[in-house]
Amino acid sequence: MGFTLIELMFTMAIAGTLTAMAIPSGLRILDDQRTGNAARYLAQRLGYARMDAIRRSTFFGLRFEAGPDDYTFTSVADGNGNGLRTSDILRGIDRTVGQPECLAWNFPGVRFGILPGVPDADGQPVDAPDGVRAGASQIISMSPNGSSSSGTLYLHGRQRAQYAVRVLGATGRIRTLKYVEPAGRWVDQ
């Protein structure tokens, strides 16, 4: 039994078509996985800051700074007992702990922001695509008693993957949410 050239070309065409159909789906899955990992990483970093604040009996947190391409974030520790303040950070009183990080360094294609057409985590329309919602100071601060400042960090991938990391002030609870586009709502991860 042999194959004719036409049968072989037909088989190759079908294989090529199936591969071409699978690639976009695979890229969306990879993008969603990478963006979800970045959200979990940020949630973990915030959790470590909370534990450091409790363990060291001092304010500890993450400071977000807007850069030319995206935000960088740095761990900071209170140096004078009055909480984390931008002016104290700039004067070196509240010290940075470690080097600044950018999400794209560890998670290529992931950045802070809200995609067009996606509501915020409270279901409200978005008026600006900025992904760091942590008050004017752009610091999420954890206190020694386990509470924190409130804030939401939105991140997205190259495709349509959209995640949020929320910090609830009174309890210091950290939640990771994913926007499910077909359903048009945010769900806990």
User: For the segment 16-70, what is each residue's pLDDT rounded down to a tens digit?
Assistant: 776 677 666 666 888 999 999 999 999 999 999 999 999 999 999 999 999 998 9
Q: Are 176 and 165 within 8 A, CB to CB?
A: yes
Compute the distance between CA of residue 25 and CA of residue 135 in angstroms, rounded to an integer: 37
What pLDDT shows up at residue 161?
95
User: For the segment 123-149, what is each residue's pLDDT rounded down to a tens digit?
Assistant: 888 888 999 999 999 999 999 999 999
Return the amino acid letter for 132.
V
Percent of the chain topping pLDDT 70: 94
Q: Count CB neighbours of 187 within 10 A.
A: 9
End-to-end Cα, the chain, rounded Å = 54
Q: Which residues pair with 175 in a beta bridge?
A: 166
What pLDDT shows up at residue 22?
63
What pLDDT shows up at residue 54?
96
Domains of the chain, with CATH numbers? 5-188 (3.55.40.10)
